[in-house]
Structure 1
Amino acid sequence: FFFMSVSRETTRDLLLKAHERFDIEYGGFLSNHMTHGLMALDMLGASSERLASWFQEYIKHDVNGSQLEPAQSPGDLTIDENNWNQFKGKRENFPELYEFFKKQAESATEQEIVNKFISDLAPGVAGSALHPMIHLGFSIAFSDSNVPFAEGLAYMTHSFLPLLDYSLFESNSTPEDSQKDLKAIVVDIRNDDGLWNLMRNTKETGFQSKLKLLQDSVSLLGHLSKWNVLHSNTSSEEEEQQVFEAACKELAQTAVFAFYYTKPPCTEFFLLHGVTGCYAAICIASMITNHEQRMKVLFHFAAAFLATFIVEGSPDCITGSTDADHPISPTNDWQAIVDQVLQENTDRNDVHMIKLIYVCKRFSEMYGEDPLWVNAAGCLTLSSILDTSDYDFAIGISQEPNPR
């Protein structure tokens, strides 16, 4: 099902080296993307030489003057099944959390571990700008090393940030004639003056601090509660699987839609994380055996995705979707796009670009050829974006700064 690269041994070695040498975060709050990039390159078919050269390239990577920081060693603290839950969201003790989850991974399958811990972790997927969930989801797709898998679980615990209480959704009965698809909910959110003004009147500037303004948001819960797929009645495992797959596909289409149809297309930094985060959420949820539990994972990711859209200023992705002249990918050839990041001596080293290509290619394999997938990947890959600083941030606010 997942592509097995000819360079898998190199990748595993580099993943271990990355863990031993570098901390999970740097510069106070920036997420280390080394592991995501290595796994995505591997799954795209990178050579051992390309993996090794990208590893060295990312070590030199700099964001606002900050670079990767040395890994911390575990202290004397012992984390076990009785106390691990106490460390959720405290943003400390990552090395000890890693040791705990690594021991778990040595004595059970990835699926068993996900099913064991996900109900406690899923509500907090918005933490650290979705990166912990992305870390775990990509490790499940890679499925060939305990190191990133244990890191992902530890990071999700470390950065746990709950947005909405699922039990409030359960008690919030939404009439059938008010239910709608996710894209329509995105349109409603763009037209929601309260959420629009919240992000334009706040003194908060950081992504995560603005995201926290939406914790326990009645407005956000009201919008998400209208998603029709969350109200599907099922009477068999077959029907449950159909509902789950339809929800995953709709999430993927909506996340890529919001990213691709901004003007200019495919430049919004955190909407890109909505796409890679969506794929990660699907990978995680697909491991879960209980239908209600996997739908809860999708609920919590959808909340994080919609919150990200709001934080970035509820940008206009509607006009672009109806514009016959909206830019499209210069090529429909996936290999030509992939080669842009696999070639030796390429300048396409941006880890977000690499992950976006991998995810959109996977979506095309999972959900069928749709111009959306190749256009999003191609427009980003063949753009002038080469590094983090080249992206747009809060594009909705920069383009439409005024409150309503």
Structure 2
Amino acid sequence: MLAACLRRVSRSIRILRGQTLSLKSGGSVDSWRSRDCRQFNMSSVSPPGGSWLRDILEDQSTQTYYIEYDRFFSNHLTHGIIAIEKLGGDKDRVNRFVEHYKNHGKLEPPNHPRHSDESTDAEPATDDELHKLLGQRKLYYKIRNRFRVILKEHGSAEEMLREEFPKLSRGLVCSAAHGLIHTGYGYSVRCSSTVTEGLAYLHHSCKPLIFDEKNPDNDISHFGKGACDILTVLAELKKDENLRKYMEDEAVKLRQSDWYSGGFQYRVAALVGKGDDLMKYAYKIKVPVIQSCQDEDGLAVALANWLLDQAIAVFALSEIKNDFFLLHGVTAAWSLRQIIPLLKHPDAVDALRTFTCALLAVYVSQGCPDLTNKPEIPQTDVTASDWQEIIDKALARDTDEHIYKLVQVCHDTWREKNGSDGAALYIHAAQMCIDHDLHF
């Protein structure tokens, strides 16, 4: 039985006491609903106030360390640096994290034998080369250097993202969404070089969502106009044994191919190849802001806000506490939220639809955990001092960078909503992340 701890509020998830929902019965709740499309300005997070953060990002960029290590693990150094700064860490605290990450990780320099065909000074990929390299997981620096040229051609990171991100957004789940996360974190502090690194990684590893675009049932006009709350849809997914069996069987085949990755990415890659099935479930979801928001730009942002809340809720309520890949769903949703205001409306909605399918795929890949881990703190009791206590605990530790990122995203979301909507859920997610080891 799922304790339905959410009640209907503007754009967000609130706490509802005393009701229950059975995932097995596929019941419905009035939670996860929104009454309007008022925006909270998540993109207002200020760029670095001083040059020290930008200098550190440049020093620790992919010019110094390759975007991956040990064949397929992603380099998170940049994300951790930015998250700690956003939590209030000063230059010394950020540098302490950098040293800890380098000493406890396996970062590889660009000239590591594993990258013998790579060079930071590689000639930028031509149009033809860029096309052929899409999703091939090789020659990262040729791709990155091409995006540096593209940045100059567009004149700004904003214009580059507006034009180039939609070309890659169908593949945003690639490499456990690290390309998206790298891009979003870079833009959140207005670091153009980090943005180019992220876009290059998206291109390098792209595994697009595959579906029949000619099928009228898949028309994007249906997105968000279903009849079910997301909990009901997740309950249906949990019962879909055929989809899970397909995922496991296809993951075995992918392991035997020349594509080397981890078990999670094999499972997700199998599922994004079944985009028609994922879209069938995605289109069952009712997104309330679609009914209440008439302004296109406001609608895209409201959709992104709603989707971020769903990612936080799935992570926070999961019976598997601090699930690594559900955590990735949260930081990826926040990263996408940074980019959405820059995109043309059709491109923004298409990216949000893809991310919804990706979030469903991640949930299935992690075994469809029950969502029973409800918050205990009353929503009205959440204060700035409560958050500061959690932030201080996080910053006092030398720990996995994902801990800083999850706390930072939940705190930013709480703060940007003026401490109201979803407060109990956000602090519950952050506290759980602090109190439990990551579950892989």
Question: Cα deviation per residue 1:207-265 (whole Å; 9 max; x = unaligned)?
Answer: 1111122133132121012233499589x9x5223432332222112111111112253
Q: Tell me the number of residue pairs that the alignment of Structure 1 and Structure 2 aligns.
A: 371
Cross-structure match for 2:373: 320
Matched, 1:120 2:167: yes
Cross-structure match for 2:60: 18
Relative to structure 1, the CA distance from residue 169 to residue 316 in structure 2 (aligned partners, 3 Å threshold; closer, same or farther) is farther
Give me the whole-angstrom Cα distance separating, in 1, the residues matched to 2:54 and 2:426: 29
Matched, 1:355 2:405: yes
SS at match of 1:286: helix
Relative to structure 1, the CA distance from residue 78 to residue 151 in structure 2 (aligned partners, 3 Å threshold; closer, same or farther) is closer
Give me the whole-angstrom Cα distance separating, in 1, the residues matched to 2:369 and 2:413: 23
Relative to structure 1, the CA distance from residue 325 to residue 99 in structure 2 (aligned partners, 3 Å threshold; closer, same or farther) is closer
Shift of 1:87: 1.6
Match of 2:243 among 195, 200, 203: 195
Superposition TM-score, scaled by structure 2 size? 0.76
Relative to structure 1, the CA distance from residue 142 to residue 165 in structure 2 (aligned partners, 3 Å threshold; closer, same or farther) is farther
Shift of 1:34: 0.3
Cross-structure match for 1:298: 352
Matched, 1:268 2:323: yes
Cross-structure match for 1:186: 234
Cross-structure match for 1:287: 342
Shift of 1:43: 2.0
Indicate if the aligned counterparts of 2:224 and 2:287 stay in contact, CA closer than 8 A.
no
Indicate if the aligned counterparts of 2:76 and 2:401 stay in contact, CA closer than 8 A.
yes
Give the root-mean-square deviation of aligned CA atoms: 3.0
Indicate if the aligned counterparts of 1:111 and 1:287 stay in contact, CA closer than 8 A.
yes
Give me the whole-angstrom Cα distance separating, in 2, the residues matched to 1:268 and 1:57: 23
SS at match of 1:21: coil
Cross-structure match for 1:396: none
Question: Cα deviation per residue 1:108-153 (whole Å; 9 max; x = unaligned)?
Answer: 111110111122101110110111100001111111x222111001
Shift of 1:77: 4.4
Shift of 1:178: 4.9
Indicate if the aligned counterparts of 1:251 and 1:302 stay in contact, CA closer than 8 A.
yes
Give me the whole-angstrom Cα distance separating, in 1, the residues matched to 2:373 and 2:398: 26
SS at match of 1:226: coil
Give me the whole-angstrom Cα distance separating, in 2, the residues matched to 1:229 and 1:308: 20
Q: How does 1:5-404 map to 2 (within 5 A)?
A: 5=48, 8-19=50-61, 20-62=63-105, 67-72=106-111, 73-74=119-120, 76-81=122-127, 83-107=129-153, 108-143=155-190, 145-165=191-211, 167=213, 171-172=217-218, 178-198=226-246, 203=252, 206-217=263-274, 218-229=276-287, 232=290, 238-265=294-321, 267-288=322-343, 290-317=344-371, 319-321=372-374, 333-342=386-395, 346-367=396-417, 368-369=419-420, 370=422, 371-381=424-434, 383-385=435-437, 391-393=438-440
Give me the whole-angstrom Cα distance separating, in 1, the residues matched to 2:342 and 2:225: 33
Question: Cα deviation per residue 1:148-176 (whole Å; 9 max; x = unaligned)?
Answer: 11100110100111123372575436699
Relative to structure 1, the CA distance from residue 219 to residue 139 in structure 2 (aligned partners, 3 Å threshold; closer, same or farther) is same
Structure 1 residue runs of 5 or longer lacking an equivalent are 386-390, 394-404
Superposition TM-score, scaled by structure 1 size? 0.83
Shift of 1:296: 0.5
Give me the whole-angstrom Cα distance separating, in 2, the residues matched to 1:169 and 1:55: 49
Question: Cα deviation per residue 1:25-52 (whole Å; 9 max; x = unaligned)?
Answer: 0001000000111111122221111111
Relative to structure 1, the CA distance from residue 316 to residue 255 in structure 2 (aligned partners, 3 Å threshold; closer, same or farther) is same
Give me the whole-angstrom Cα distance separating, in 1, the residues matched to 2:383 and 2:324: 21
Give me the whole-angstrom Cα distance separating, in 1, the residues matched to 2:53 and 2:88: 11
Give me the whole-angstrom Cα distance separating, in 1, the residues matched to 2:223 and 2:352: 21
Relative to structure 1, the CA distance from residue 310 to residue 168 in structure 2 (aligned partners, 3 Å threshold; closer, same or farther) is farther
Shift of 1:274: 0.4
Relative to structure 1, the CA distance from residue 334 to residue 194 in structure 2 (aligned partners, 3 Å threshold; closer, same or farther) is same
Give me the whole-angstrom Cα distance separating, in 2, the residues matched to 1:245 and 1:273: 20
Indicate if the aligned counterparts of 2:120 and 2:141 stay in contact, CA closer than 8 A.
yes
Q: Which has the higher contact order (CA 8 A, sep 6+)?
A: 2
Indicate if the aligned counterparts of 1:135 and 1:148 stay in contact, CA closer than 8 A.
yes
The residue identity in structure 2 corresponding to 1:282 is: R
Deviates more, 1:152-161 or 1:193-202: 193-202
Give me the whole-angstrom Cα distance separating, in 1, the residues matched to 2:122 and 2:412: 42
Deviates more, 1:12-21 or 1:77-86: 77-86
Give me the whole-angstrom Cα distance separating, in 2, the residues matched to 1:158 and 1:176: 30
SS at match of 1:167: coil
The residue identity in structure 2 corresponding to 1:118 is: F
Indicate if the aligned counterparts of 1:262 and 1:320 stay in contact, CA closer than 8 A.
yes
Relative to structure 1, the CA distance from residue 219 to residue 76 in structure 2 (aligned partners, 3 Å threshold; closer, same or farther) is closer
Indicate if the aligned counterparts of 1:26 and 1:68 stay in contact, CA closer than 8 A.
yes
Give me the whole-angstrom Cα distance separating, in 2, the residues matched to 1:85 and 1:283: 26
Shift of 1:325: 9.8
